[in-house]
Structure 1
Amino acid sequence: MFEAKNTDILDLEEDDFDTILENDIKFRGRIKFSKPFMIRGSVTGVIEATSDLVVDSEAVVCADISASRVLVKGKVEGNVVAGKIVHVTSSGSVTGDITSEQLVLDPGSRFTGRCTMVAN
């Protein structure tokens, strides 16, 4: 089991996010952010972050992602690089390579790609 300090991304509430890309928004391009960000809509391009990213259950992301911690409840197509943890819930799927210190795949989640575990 992993430490609770690395899983508190699961405990983030909607109020914890400065920005939420809602489900009626389709974005194409590069997103950069430094505070927690939630995607409920559709993103195509590149996501670069120094903070947390949550891909909500109805979200579709076709992008390479770089963030501190990534929680995937929806669909991600692209490579994911996380400094701390990538957590894919039972409703989530990732098609692409994952590089992270920790990876959590809940029962029922889908992952197609290679995983590289890196030291802190």
Structure 2
Amino acid sequence: MAERELEYRPKQGGRRRKIVVRLGAAVFDPRRDSWRVDIQINGPKRGQEFRSHASGVDSMGAVVAAIWLVSVCLRGILNDCPGDVTFLDDPDLGFYLAPPEGYGPEQDA
């Protein structure tokens, strides 16, 4: 369904590498009565691959959960391979960010 190529720069110097994030299309899983999106992250180490999936009550929920899960997985990968990751030279990778605190139902003042 979607692919994004990120650039990884090791903290201790060295060659820049790619991290490729792929999301599959949302597919209904009748065994679980939910929707599923497969996630694949390749890199930054040669041959390093992470696979998982996210689920939701509808296809949009599964996609949103997958985007959130990518950001969590990338943090884990960077704990193992310290460095900086950018997308089009920007540290904002375009994945999940928590909504502002005031977002949502009105709150009593």
Q: TM range, normalised to the smaller chain?
A: under 0.3
Considering fraction of residues, name the structure with more strand. Answer: 1
Q: TM-score, normalised by structure 2?
A: 0.27
Q: TM-score, normalised by structure 1?
A: 0.25
Considering fraction of residues, name the structure with more helix. Answer: 2
Higher relative contact order (CA 8 A, sep 6+): 2
